[in-house]
Amino acid sequence: MRPVQYGSGSVNPTHLHTGLAVVGSGMAGMAAAIFAYNRGISFVQVGQASELSFSSGCLDLFSILPGRFPKVFADPFVGIDALTKKMPHHPYSRVTRSLIREAFADFTDFMESAGIYYYGPKQKDQNTWENQHIITPAGTLKPTWQVPATMHAGSLAIARNQRICIVDIKGLKGFGARQMAQTLQPQLPCVTGATIAFPGRETVKDLMCERLAWDLENPKILAQFISLLKPHADRVDVLGLPAILGMYRFEKLHRTLELALKKPVFEIPTLSPSVTGMRMKEAFLKKITDLGAHHFPVAVSDIVPDKDGFRFFVTQGLQTIEIRAENLVLATGRFMGRGLGVREEQVKEMLFDLPVTQPETRAGWLCPDFFDPAGHPVNQAGIETDDWFRPLGSTGSVFHPRLYAAGSILAHQDWKREKSGAGIAIASAFKAVSHIAGNTPVRRSEMR
């Protein structure tokens, strides 16, 4: 079973009946859509702008247990055990190791079919895997679970303490090779920095990563680019570049570069907009549209739950479509995604006004130190669910038997500090969609 397909423009639907509405198009929304597709559940996805454009492109699982003395775990599963012991209501306490593995495998398989290959964690021995690390523009190392192929040589080089040369580009702001190399010195003494001018844009003072990514898809520019990199590549083991290696043909570009330079090359995610995040979003959207799924890049505000499921309207151009969905996954995110908002100094869930667990008063939201290792209490605000990630209503029982929530809107997690954003999104979406699949007779979407 696959999402319904229309002939191009020949059908003019005003009603759309579907098995699942995924509300939100960030990491959790994307994951829910992928899992629904894999399970043959018909679905529509709605959601305005996506925070994916800010993403590093890596998939984090878990690394740090925040607290007065934060604890860093090399093996995320060992970390998750400690986490769920300390935080029994954390979303990870509702999923098992094997579910997480299965969910990641499903997710990355789909992304591979969309053109983004991921490299998994380092395997220490038969049962132990460890987070890998990436270099960030701040000159720090960040632990993560899976990295896209274009970034993998970096995490290998870090693990092997190889000689790395980071090359920055004149006019590309906020990406300083010298800054990164100097800051990394205590951990990685073999990192150096170099600067080149981008071919054809030598005098441009304000370069955008996205623009350069498009430029490099031009073979002539690529050849010049390679010749500028050559002397730097020759004196080290591995070359690090800002993530600008193409928007669509990045895998091929990356290979071409490595062959020409005869050295491994890796990308470093940049400050927003991040090409690695955009690739993920573009690849997903293209694949899902090719498969004929409905993706409405609009915000919805009024969703009416009833005994059959959920009803709401989306407007696309001049057309307004009524959507009836049997199930709904709420993947609207937090404050940036407007899944959460504030009214009268209380944190609110914006679509169904679900109860939100939160600090008692506004005065308890934040820490005086921005970097307080325990994290800001407001970051753990969110919605409560049952074991299948169905939100709880004000009475403490399930709000609606077919309403699910996934991702950062869930309470009792602090993904930014735990480095668990993708993991929570993927695992919760997977469990929710599994439950939907178990309860929903699979059938085609119907148009009326």
Residues contacting another protein: total by CB under 8 A: 58
Please, are residues 229 and 239 in contact by the beta-carbon 8 Å criterion?
yes
Decide if residue 388 touches another protein (CB under 8 A).
no
Of 205 and 448, nearer to another protein (C-beta) is 205
Stretch that binds another protein, among 145-153, 239-247, 278-286, 340-348 (CB under 8 A): 340-348
Q: Which is nearer to another protein, 35 or 175 (CB)?
A: 175
Single-letter residue type at 141: L
Q: Does 187 bind another protein (CB under 8 A)?
A: yes
Count of positions (residues) in the chain? 448
Alpha-carbon distances, residue 336 vs 15, 113, 296 (angstroms): 30, 29, 19
Q: How many CB atoms lie within 10 A of CB 74?
A: 15
205 in contact with another protein (CB under 8 A): yes
Q: Counting contacts by CB under 8 A, is residue 370 touching another protein?
A: yes
Asked if 378 touches another protein (CB under 8 A), the answer is: yes
- Under the binding rule (CB under 8 A), the answer on residue 69 touching another protein is no
- Spacing of C-alpha 116 from chain mean position: 13
Q: Least CB distance from residue 87 to another protein, whole Å?
A: 18
C-alpha to C-alpha distance for 215 and 213, rounded to whole angstroms: 5
Q: How far apart are the first and last CA of the chain?
A: 19
Q: Kindly tell me which of 200 and 219 has the beta carbon lying closer to another protein.
A: 200
Residue 173 found at the interface with another protein (CB under 8 A): yes
Least distance between another protein and beta carbon 90 (Å): 17
Q: Which of 217, 322, 372, 386 binds another protein (CB under 8 A)?
A: 372
CB nearer to another protein: give 14 or 346: 346
SS3 assignment, position 308: coil
Q: Does 313 bind another protein (CB under 8 A)?
A: no
Residue 122 near residue 156, CB atoms below 8 Å: no
206 touches another protein (CB under 8 A): yes
CB atoms within 10 A of CB 116: 22
**Cα(375)–Cα(142) distance, integer angstroms:** 17
What would you report as the CA-atom Rg of the chain, rounded to the nearest whole angstrom? 23
142 binds another protein (CB under 8 A): yes
50 binds another protein (CB under 8 A): no
User: 266-301: buried (b, 16+ CB within 10 Å) or exposed (e) per residue?
Assistant: bbbbbeeebbbbbbbbbbbbebbeeeebbbbeebbe
Verify binding: residue 174, another protein, rule CB under 8 A: yes
Distance in angstroms (rounded) separating the CA atoms of residues 315 and 215: 35
User: Distance (Å, rounded) from C-alpha 412 to C-alpha 402?
Assistant: 22
> Applying CB under 8 A, which of residues 93, 162, 195, 224 lies at the interface with another protein?
195
- Neighbouring C-beta atoms of residue 423, cutoff 10 Å: 29
Residue 137 touches another protein, criterion: CB under 8 A = yes
> Given candidates 53, 108, 183, 358, which one binds another protein under the rule CB under 8 A?
183
Residues that bind another protein (CB under 8 A): 51, 54, 56, 64, 70, 72, 136-143, 171, 173-176, 178-179, 182-183, 185-187, 195, 205-206, 269, 271-272, 334-336, 338, 340-342, 345, 362-363, 365-366, 368-373, 376, 378-379, 415-417, 419, 421
